[in-house]
Amino acid sequence: MCTGTYSLRELQSLLGKLHFVSTCVRPGRIFVSRLLDWLRRAFPSNVVGRGHKIFRRIPVEVQKDLMWWQRFLSSCNGISMMCFEDWSSPDEIFSSDACLEGFGAITSNQYFHAVFPPDITKDQLHINCLELFAIVVAVKIWGKKMLREENSDLL
């Protein structure tokens, strides 16, 4: 693998296939990015139209990235690691959300919403912190209802 020279068209075809696979294989994105960066350096925009006539040897660092793909793809058999058996229904479900000014949550037939207290808004916290705050309040309000009887002393 990776010996000899390859045309721009051949390398673009390979890159397209690897890019498609990398939408499912997140670690592969870095290897696709490095191949794309090398292609941009190896084939300047003024030669792109003649890509089937211009050949380049693949450098060692790009060969190593392609060998990672070869090892990964040879060990991946296409069988999902996810278990799709029927899962039991959850005991309780709640949904919460927050914006920069307020927060709220809903479960079955109950809900709440509120404006953030001034001591929260003055800190200008990241939205993730504000959403976590909404979850904490929801668990504080509905926590005992969500726990099974034998765990109710945890809250």
| Amino acid 151: pLDDT | 47
The residue ranges of every structural domain in the chain are: 5-75, 94-154
Residue pLDDT tens, the chain, 155 long:
556 788 888 888 998 999 888 888 778 888 888 888 888 888 777 666 665 677 888 889 888 888 888 888 877 766 666 666 676 776 668 899 999 999 999 988 899 999 999 988 898 889 999 999 999 999 999 888 777 644 445 45
| Amino acid 90: pLDDT | 67
| Amino acid 140: pLDDT | 93
| Amino acid 4: pLDDT | 76
DSSP string, the chain: ---SEEEHHHHHHHHHHHHHHHTT-TTHHHHHHHHHHHHHHHS-GGGGGGTTT-EEEPPHHHHHHHHHHHHHHHH--S---S--SPPPPPS--EEEEE-SSEEEEEETTEEEEEEPPHHHHTTT--HHHHHHHHHHHHHHHHHHHHS-GGGGGG-
